[in-house]
């Protein structure tokens, strides 16, 4: 596991390399990652640690109420604060993993985790936009949860409720924040050009194209980019480039969101999925034990807690899947992007396993849960020996064979 050379660290959302042995974050930082690491950086933040979803929305739209409903569960949460922002990490509910735990009765049970951040919007000075001062923080998000007020009749400014308009405004805030960043960077490039310094023309061109889109109110996610442009732009962590889910925080009287077609249509135009969420009810339910939860859901005609639907939605949105490792010591979920090879999946578990990879003994969790025996899966041939290039599937249970 131990590797020599520069140590990658994350600093204000950017991966940088610190010379081994160096401790203070001073000029000893090198902003030149090794090729393998640069590649990883371009692939977006590695969600293997904990997927992080940032809740943003208009004032009083119910962000904190939704955050509470998402994080205050009987299984507990890891709660902290980043300045005025609340941070809560919860276990990803996964029935397959829970069944594997019941089967193996392991010493340690490790579900995947999701971190939610309830973003506190600071008061906005005249002429500034709501998110301008938060771009560094928001740049760290894997995706946004856009909380839209859909309860009550008035919004926080005393205007009639307009969920679609509220969502559009929030998307525009993302656009403004990016536009400011683009203009600042283009200004610097212009300054360098005037001083006769060498300009990265690919960067300048991609930024000019971004500027034109943003000035037209278009989120960067909806612009068509060449591979080269995308590579350049990814390093900026633009907010309007990030995927998002829309959460309509409805009142107790409108659990199906009957009045929300305009919001759904507006969200669709942005390519967002809309989730109906009643923060007040969900918070109440989150506190109940599982059997009482089931009765509660039935009473309200709901299938699943919105918390579960939201996490599953985020996994789909970000193209994430889970594979599992099982044994008496530990039953554990690992989060990877769809399309990950068995070799790369091995690297998630341990770099030694990746290095000494021989084969991945693989069985679908449903097949294992049916026979309840690893050896029976071998006998009925649902257990396969897969090689390095095998594309791991959602719900695979894998035992890696490797040379130590």
Ligand X SMILES: Nc1nc2c(ncn2[C@@H]2O[C@H](COP(=O)(O)OP(=O)(O)OP(=O)(O)O)[C@@H](O)[C@H]2O)c(=O)[nH]1
Name the site residues for ligand X (rule: CB under 6 A): 57, 59-65, 120-121, 151, 249, 251, 278-280
We find the least distance from the C-beta atom of residue 55 to ligand X, in angstroms, to be 8
Choose among ligand X, Mg ion, none what residue 249 binds, the Cβ cut-off being 5 to 8 Å by kind: ligand X
Strands (E), 230-319: 244-250, 273-277
Residue among 279 and 392 whose Cβ is closer to ligand X: 279
Least CB distance from residue 100 to ligand X, whole Å?
35
What is d(CA 114, CA 150) in angstroms, rounded to the nearest whole number?
A: 25
* Cα–Cα nearest to 221, from 236, 243, 202, 203: 243
Q: Percent helix, strand, coil in the chain (nearest 5)?
A: 40, 25, 35
Q: Give me the residues paired with residue 17 across strands.
A: 8, 30
Residue pair 220/178 in contact (Cβ under 8 Å)? The answer is: yes
If you write DSSP's letter for every residue of 339-377 in order, what string do you get?
T-BHHHHHHHH-HHHHHTEEEEEEEEHHHHHHH--HHHH
Select 147 or 320, whichever has its Cβ closest to Mg ion. 147
279 binds, among ligand X, Mg ion, none (CB under 5 to 8 A by kind): ligand X
Q: Which is nearer to ligand X, 21 or 253 (CB)?
A: 253
Query: Shortest Cβ distance from residue 68 to ligand X (Å)?
Result: 8
The nearest distance, CB 124 to ligand X, in angstroms, is 12
> At closest approach, how far in Å is the CB of 179 from ligand X?
23
Q: Which does 59 bind (CB under 5 to 8 A by kind): ligand X, Mg ion, none?
A: ligand X
Give the nearer residue to ligand X in terms of CB position, either 62 or 139: 62
Q: Which is nearer to ligand X, 47 or 62 (CB)?
A: 62
Angle, CA of 373, 379 and 383, to the nearest 5°: 70
Residue 364 and residue 401: Cα distance in Å, rounded? Answer: 17
CB of 312 to ligand X, least distance (A): 21
Q: Which does 60 bind (CB under 5 to 8 A by kind): Mg ion, ligand X, none?
A: ligand X
Q: Which of 369, 379, 275, 382 is nearest to 326 (CA)?
A: 369
Neighbours of 362 (CB within 10 A): 22
Question: Residue 377: which of ligand X, Mg ion, none does it interact with, CB under 5 to 8 A by kind?
Answer: none
The least CB distance from residue 118 to Mg ion, in Å, is 6
- Which is nearer to ligand X, 133 or 218 (by Cβ)? 133
Residue numbers at the binding site for Mg ion (CB under 5 A):
63-64
Question: Between residues 35 and 83, which has the closer beta carbon with respect to Mg ion?
Answer: 83
Listed in sequence order, the DSSP H helices in 260-363 are 261-269, 279-286, 290-299, 306-317, 342-349, 351-355
């Amino acid at each position: 596991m131990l590797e020599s050379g520069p140590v990658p660290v994350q600093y204000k959302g950017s991966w940088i390399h610190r010379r081994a042995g160096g401790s203070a974050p001073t000029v000893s930082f090198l902003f030149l990652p090794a090729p393998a690491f640069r590649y990883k950086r371009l692939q977006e933040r590695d969600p293997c640690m904990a997927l992080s979803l940032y809740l943003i929305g208009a004032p009083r739209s119910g962000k904190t109420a939704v955050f509470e409903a998402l994080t205050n569960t009987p299984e507990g949460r890891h709660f902290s604060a980043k300045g005025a922002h609340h941070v809560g990490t919860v276990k990803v509910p996964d029935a397959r993993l829970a069944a594997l735990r019941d089967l193996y009765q392991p010493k340690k049970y490790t579900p995947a985790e999701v971190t939610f951040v309830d973003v506190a919007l600071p008061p906005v000075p005249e002429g500034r936009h709501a998110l301008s001062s938060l771009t560094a923080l928001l740049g760290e998000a894997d995706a946004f949860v856009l909380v839209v007020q859909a309860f009550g009749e008035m919004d926080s400014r005393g205007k009639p409720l307009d969920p679609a308009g509220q969502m559009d405004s929030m998307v525009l805030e993302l656009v403004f924040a990016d536009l400011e960043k683009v203009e600042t960077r283009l200004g610097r490039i212009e300054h360098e050009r005037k001083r006769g310094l060498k300009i990265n023309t690919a960067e300048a061109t991609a930024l000019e194209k971004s500027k034109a889109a943003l000035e037209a109110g278009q989120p960067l996610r909806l612009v068509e980019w060449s591979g080269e442009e995308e590579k350049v732009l990814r390093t900026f962590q633009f907010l309007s480039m990030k995927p998002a889910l829309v959460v309509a925080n409805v009142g107790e009287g409108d659990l199906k969101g009957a009045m929300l077609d305009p919001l759904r249509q507006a969200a669709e135009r942005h390519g967002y999925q809309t989730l109906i969420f009643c923060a007040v009810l969900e918070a109440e339910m989150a506190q109940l034990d599982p059997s009482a939860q089931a009765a509660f859901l039935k009473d309200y005609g709901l299938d699943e807690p919105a918390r579960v639907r939201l996490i599953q939605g985020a996994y789909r949105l970000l193209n994430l899947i889970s594979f599992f490792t099982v044994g008496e010591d530990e039953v554990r979920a690992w989060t990877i992007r769809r399309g990950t090879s068995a070799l790369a999946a091995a690297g998630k578990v341990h770099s030694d396993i990746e290095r000494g990879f021989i084969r991945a003994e693989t069985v679908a969790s449903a097949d294992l849960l049916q026979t309840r025996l690893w050896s029976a899966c071998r006998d009925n041939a649902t257990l396969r020996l897969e090689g390095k290039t095998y594309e791991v599937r959602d719900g695979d249970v894998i035992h890696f064979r490797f040379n130590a």
